[in-house]
Structure 1
Amino acid sequence: MTSGANVLDAVVVGAGWAGLGVSYSLARRGLRHSVLERGRIGETWLTQRWDSFRMNTPNVQTVMPGDRYEGSDPSGALTRNQFVALLEDFAKRNGLPVEPETVVTELASGHEKGEYRLTTSRGTFLARNVVIASGHLNCPVRPVWAASLTPRLCQIDASDYRNAAGLADGAVLVVGSGQSGCQIAEDLAEAGRTVFLSTGRVGRLVRRYRGRDIMIWLVESGFLDVRREEIIQLAKRIPPRGVLGAQQTISLQALSAKGIVLLGRLTGVEDGGRLSFADDLEAHVRFADEASANVKRHIDEYISRSGIDAPAAEPDPAETVQASLPDPTIGSLDIAGAGITTVVWCTGFRGDFSWMRLPGVLDPAGQPLHEDGVASRPGIYFAGLDFASTRKSGTILAVAEEAHRLVEHMVERS
C-alpha cells in the first residue's frame, strides 16, 4: 500500500500466469511494484475449472519465464491443481510482491499528472503504470433465450461445472462445442451420464502428429506467430481456438462414439420446454475436420521445407472411431421427454473491466482497446489477452515474450 509520496513504478492486477510473468520482468528491471490479486495466486484456475481439467500444453511447454522443464514426463499435462502449484512456486522462488485477497474496485487517474490510483479492499495504491492481467474470460455469456427455459431446469456455466456428481440426476445438455464444451461433455459421458451436445463452427487439432505433440510443431513451424490482423483478415473475425484434448484427440466423431448425442446449433426455445436446433451438424463436423487437415498440411509443408526427418503421418483418430451421428439430424428436442435436468452453457466469456474509470481504454462493449497489449492511454497495459498480438497470445507460451515486451515499453516510456 502506498501514499501520495510513495508512488510505485507499476501495479499489476491479477496473479495468474500473465500477471506473475509481468511481475518477474518488472523485478528483473528493478521496478518497484505490487501484484494485486482478488483471491489466491491462480484464483481463476482454482475456482473456474472442472475437477478433471488438464492443461492443453505439454509439460515441456508449461513453464514460466526463466524456467525450463526438468521433469520426467515432458509429454504429460498438468492438472488444475498442479498448474496452480507451479504458479505458487514461481512466485515464491522469485520473491514476487503478490498482495492476495486484494480486490480492486476502481482504477482512476491520480491527483498528479501521469499517476494512477487503484482503490482496493485493502486501501489505495498509486502507480505510474498499471498492467491489467485480470483475465478477459471471467464473465460467462449466455444466449438471450436462456431466460426463457423452464425454471425447473438447472442452468450453469462452464466456469461453475466441477463434475457429474455435482449435478442433479438426469440427462445433461451441453451448449457449445468449443474447448470447454467438448471436454465437459466427454467428462459427463465418461461418468455414465446421458449427454446431448449442441455444436458450433469450431475447428479441432489432433493431439499428436508425425511423432510429436502437435503443440511442439505449432510453435516450431511458426503457426502460432501469425499476427492478429492476418487472422481477422482471413476469417473476418477472431475465431474460437481449435479443440485440443489434454491427453488425446477430441473430435465430434469420438464424442459421438462415446454415446454423446450430437445436435446442431441451438436456435431457440419454444414455450420454455422445447428446444430447436439448426440443420448444420454435418457442416460442423466437416468444418472441424477441414481445420485439422489444414493445420496438418501446414506442418507437412514446414517439415518438407526444413528437411526434417519426421515419421509418416499417423491416421487421424477421428477417422478410426465408429461415430453414430443422428440420422436424420435432430431439429427439435423436448426437454422433459429427453430427461434433461441440467444445461451447461459453454457459450463463451467476456472480461469484466467495469472497475476501470479511464476514458479511451475500453470499447463500447466494455472490452480493452489496445495494440499488442498497449493502451492508447500512457501507462496502461493489458497482459494475457487472447489473440492480443498473435495466435500464441492468451496462452502460457506467450508469457515470457509478452511480459518482456510490455515492461520494456514501460521503461522506454519513462
Structure 2
Amino acid sequence: MAGILHVVVIGAGSAGLGISYFLKQRGRDHRVLERGRIGETWRTQRWDSFRLNSPNIRSLLPGDSPDVPDPGGASTQHQFVSYLESYVERHHLPVITDAPVEELSKDRGLFLVATPRGVLQARNVVIASGSLNCPKRPPTAAELPTALRQLDSSAYRNAAELEQGAVLVVGSGQSGGQIAEDLALAGRSVFLATSRAGRLVRHYRGGDIFNWMTLSGYLDVPRSEIVLPSGKLPPRGLLGATHTISLQSLSTEGVVLLGRFLGIENGSLMFGDNLDEHMRFANESSADVKRFIDDYIRRAGLNAPPAEDDPAEMIAPRLPSPPIRSIELATSGIRSVIWCTGFRGDFQWIKIPDTIDDDGQPIHQNGIGFVPGLYFSGLDFASTRKSGTIPGIAEEAARLVNHLARRSVS
C-alpha cells in the first residue's frame, strides 16, 4: 500500500489529464488511475469515421501551445488518443493504466480507492470518469423482437459491420445525425426517428462556429439557464465535424425522416406526429445561436464578413408524403436499430453517503461534491454549456484545483 497521497484522480481521459496538469504545476503528490488505456473511452466508444466537433485549436489541453498544424481541422479519435498519450509523456503526468477503481469509500477522514492492485489512500479525490459512458435506451427497446439487432451509438463502427438490410437510427442529436449520414453515404437504407434536438452550422461569418461560440460567451451560459422545465438537460445539438448537417440535408441524402419513436404495436414500429415540430425546433435553435453571435460581433465592433445562407439549411427537405406513422417490421427490411438516445455516468462504485443521488448521478455544485475533498470533473453541463467538452477542460480543471488547494491550507 502506498503512502497517503494528496490527490487521486480517477480517469485518464482529457478531463482527468487536465486536472493532473494543474496538480503537477502546484507540486501536489497525486496519481491518475485509468481503468484501461489512456483515453479508453475515445478508443472504444467511437465509430470509424468519427471526428472531433471542436477544431484542433479548441481541442488543446492546459499548457499546450496554440501553435498547432491545421488549427481549423477536425481530429479523428485515433489522432486525439495519440495526442493524449503524448500529453502524458510531455508533461510527465503520473498515470497508472489498467487500474480500474472497484470501490471508493472513506474512513477516518481519508478516501480509500480500491483497485485490483491494492488500496490507495488520499486526502482528496477527483472523479474524472465522465457522465457519458453508459448508453441509455428507452423502455420501448425491450419490446422489440430479438431477431432485430440493437446496438448503441457507442458500439457502432461502420455500415459494413451491420446485417444486410435497412437501419433505423433513433435520435437526431449529435450522434444520431452523424451516424445516419455515415450510413447513407455507405449506401444503406436509413430511417431516422427524430427528436427535439437543436442544430448548429459548421461555419458562420468567416469563422468556425466553435470559435464564435467561445469568443461570444455562448458556451459560458450557466447550467441554470440551460436546464429544461422537466429538470432534465437538453441533448447536444446536431453539429457535423467538418460540415453542416441538418435534417433537411439528411433527407436529400436518402435518409427517411420520421417522428419520435414510440415503440412497437402489432408488429409495426410506431412514430409520433412531430417531425415538423422537430425540424422547426432545429431551425430555430440554429437561428438563435446565429443571433447571439451577431449581437456579439456588433457589440465588439468586429469587422466580420456578412452572414451567408448555409446550403445544408436552405435545401428543401424530401419528406414522406403522407408522413409515416407506422412501419410494418416484417416487410420493412429493417434489420438493425441504433440507439442514439443519450448516456449517463456509472458511479455505483462510490460507497460514500451523500455523494450520488437516487438516479445514481453525482451530487455536486459546479463540480464540487458535498463531501469535503471530493470533486467531479468532465460532467456534461456541470456548470455551463461548455462543461463536459474539450474546450471547457482548462477552465474547469484550474478552478477545481484552485478550490482543492485552498481547502488544503484551510
Same fold flag (TM > 0.5): yes
Pick aligned residue for 2:333 from 307, 331, 339: 339
Residues 236-278 of structure 1: per-residue CA shift (max 9 Å, x gap): 642112111000001000100100000000112114x311100
The equivalences for 1:15-414 within 5 A come to 15-110=12-107, 113-232=108-227, 237-271=232-266, 273-414=267-408
Greater shift, 296-305 or 70-79, is seen at 70-79
Question: What's the secondary structure of 2:331's corresponding residue?
Answer: coil
Q: Number of aligned residue pairs: give it.
A: 408
CA distance in 2, matches of 1:104, 1:263: 42
CA distance in 2, matches of 1:63, 1:234: 34
Equivalent position amino acid for 2:182 in 1: D
Residues 1:354 and 1:312: Cα distance change in structure 2 (over 3 Å): same
Equivalent position amino acid for 1:267 in 2: L
Q: Is the 8 A contact 1:116 1:126 kept in 2?
A: yes
CA distance in 1, matches of 2:289, 2:311: 15
CA distance in 2, matches of 1:233, 1:308: 33
1:234 deviation in Å? 7.7
1:71 deviation in Å? 3.0
Residues 1:280 and 1:233: Cα distance change in structure 2 (over 3 Å): closer
Residues 1:138 and 1:288: Cα distance change in structure 2 (over 3 Å): same
1:60 deviation in Å? 1.1
Question: What's the secondary structure of 2:182's corresponding residue?
Answer: helix
Equivalent position amino acid for 1:170 in 2: G
Question: What's the secondary structure of 2:398's corresponding residue?
Answer: helix
Equivalent position amino acid for 2:396 in 1: E
CA distance in 2, matches of 1:264, 1:177: 10
CA distance in 2, matches of 1:35, 1:282: 47
CA distance in 1, matches of 2:142, 2:313: 39
Q: Is the 8 A contact 1:231 1:237 kept in 2?
A: no
Greater shift, 200-209 or 139-148, is seen at 139-148
Residues 1:302 and 1:235: Cα distance change in structure 2 (over 3 Å): farther
TM-score by length of 2: 0.97
Equivalent position amino acid for 2:73 in 1: G
CA RMSD of aligned residues (A): 1.2
1:318 deviation in Å? 3.1
CA distance in 1, matches of 2:64, 2:88: 12
Residues 371-394 of structure 1: per-residue CA shift (max 9 Å, x gap): 010001001000000111111100
CA distance in 2, matches of 1:347, 1:274: 20
Q: Is the 8 A contact 1:60 1:68 kept in 2?
A: no
Question: What's the secondary structure of 1:219's corresponding residue?
Answer: helix
Residues 390-414 of structure 1: per-residue CA shift (max 9 Å, x gap): 1110011111111111111111111
TM-score by length of 1: 0.96
CA distance in 2, matches of 1:85, 1:22: 19
Question: What's the secondary structure of 2:262's corresponding residue?
Answer: strand
Residues 33-71 of structure 1: per-residue CA shift (max 9 Å, x gap): 110000000000000000110000111111010112323
Gaps of 5+ in 2: none
CA distance in 1, matches of 2:206, 2:33: 42
Question: What's the secondary structure of 1:238's corresponding residue?
Answer: coil
Gaps of 5+ in 1: none
1:231 deviation in Å? 2.0
CA distance in 1, matches of 2:252, 2:53: 22
Greater shift, 245-254 or 62-71, is seen at 62-71
CA distance in 2, matches of 1:124, 1:332: 54
Greater shift, 331-340 or 153-162, is seen at 331-340
CA distance in 2, matches of 1:34, 1:372: 23
